[in-house]
Amino acid sequence: MAPRFLFAALLPALMAGAGCALGPSGRLPSPPSSQPVQAELGQRDVVQAGEEYARQNAIVLAQGGEAVRIRPNYWRIRFALPEEGSGTLLELDFDELAQRVTGSRRLDITPEMPPTSSTFQPSEASPATGGSGFR
């Protein structure tokens, strides 16, 4: 009788142990994802947080953003802005631990060239006008 009593007492523990080994879905648990996959998922979450920041601040974005990890838990996100014309970006600083944008600025990445005349006028000292190039 003692072995039967012992088996009956241990049966719930054995059943619980078997359930934990398989997991709630009945499958064996899988190992955690690789580092590159985790980084990509983190980057996607950061870009989505930047898009949400833009929506909350009524900023229209031209296309999906690009996030770069600057240092651990700190990201820089850039989005193109359509209303400003080509070459204007919204740049956000994002703190991953605090889950919030810590800074934002608009960047104009098109180089500003000084206005030039439509015709080139060489100086009198220029070899193109018969000068020596020296004054």
> For each successive 10 residues of the chain (135 residues), what is the average pLDDT?
61 60 62 59 85 91 86 91 74 91 87 55 58 55
Say if CB 107 and CB 57 are below 8 A apart. no
Place of tokens 């619980």: 16
Q: What pLDDT is attached to residue 103? A: 93
- pLDDT at res. 105: 92
In single-letter form, the type of residue at position 49 comes to A
pTM check: above 0.75: no
User: Tokens at residue 62, please?
Assistant: 């031209």
Give the separation between CA 45 and CA 58, rounded to whole angstroms.
20
Ranges of each domain in the chain: 35-108
